[in-house]
Amino acid sequence: MLDSTGWSLQSLTAGPWIYAAVVTSILLDVFLPVLPSGILVVTAATASATATVTATAYAPSLVPLLLCAATASVLGDLAAYRLARRGGTRLGRAVARSRRLAVAQERLGETLARGGGLLVVLARFAPAGRSVVSLGAGATGRRLRDFLPWSALAAAIWATYGVGLGWLGGRWLGATWLGACVPVVALFLAGSLAAYVIRRPAAAPAPAS
């Protein structure tokens, strides 16, 4: 029998509304990075994993949850890109006033110009990194065909990681707050690592012999 914390966790995600909540949160957190979209995905996945053990009447299914999270992430990136593309001059002046944003924009441009997009993937995990990259790609006039495939890859990896963490936490630790908190901590650790890698100065080119 589930304890009271288990029932509380299940009650937060018991109902089809959880999919709408996940989609809405992920769509908006590109503009409002304070929204706990990652925590919501992990918690829903944890409830899904525990429901397979406890035979809960309703719990989110993993595949629809994964698809909702990944699709909403791409659509949010695209919305931010389009918005910044239309108001690129004004946003460009705002970026120029911030050394941190200017450096991030420069690195983004260099990465996409080389045909690579690892920065886009890493930024999806870093706090506010998704906002900087998506808005920056639009403001600097980067081609959508250079940005969108990496955005889709980042969304798929991020969604799979979050859902996977929640599922593992639920299977190993059960329908308790601990089962949700441990995966959330792992999510934050991944974000901290991604932020560190992004901030690390690029290696200087080797001198010609």
SS (H, E, C) 169-188: HHHHHCCCHHHHHHHHHHHH
The answer, yes or no, to whether residue 35 has pLDDT greater than 90, is no
- Residue given tokens 């081609």 in the structure block: 143
DSSP, res 9? H
- Kindly state whether residue 204 falls inside one of the protein's structural domains: no
The answer, yes or no, to whether residue 6 has pLDDT greater than 50, is no
> How many distinct structural domains can be found in the chain?
1
Print the domain residue range for 113. Answer: 4-199
The span from the CA of 162 to the CA of 45, in Å, is 8
pLDDT per residue as tens digits for the range 132-182: 888 878 877 778 888 899 999 999 999 999 999 888 888 887 666 666 677
- Kindly state whether residue 183 falls inside one of the protein's structural domains: yes
pTM equals 0.77
- Kindly state whether residue 205 falls inside one of the protein's structural domains: no
DSSP, res 97? T
pLDDT of residue 11: 55
- Kindly state whether residue 189 falls inside one of the protein's structural domains: yes
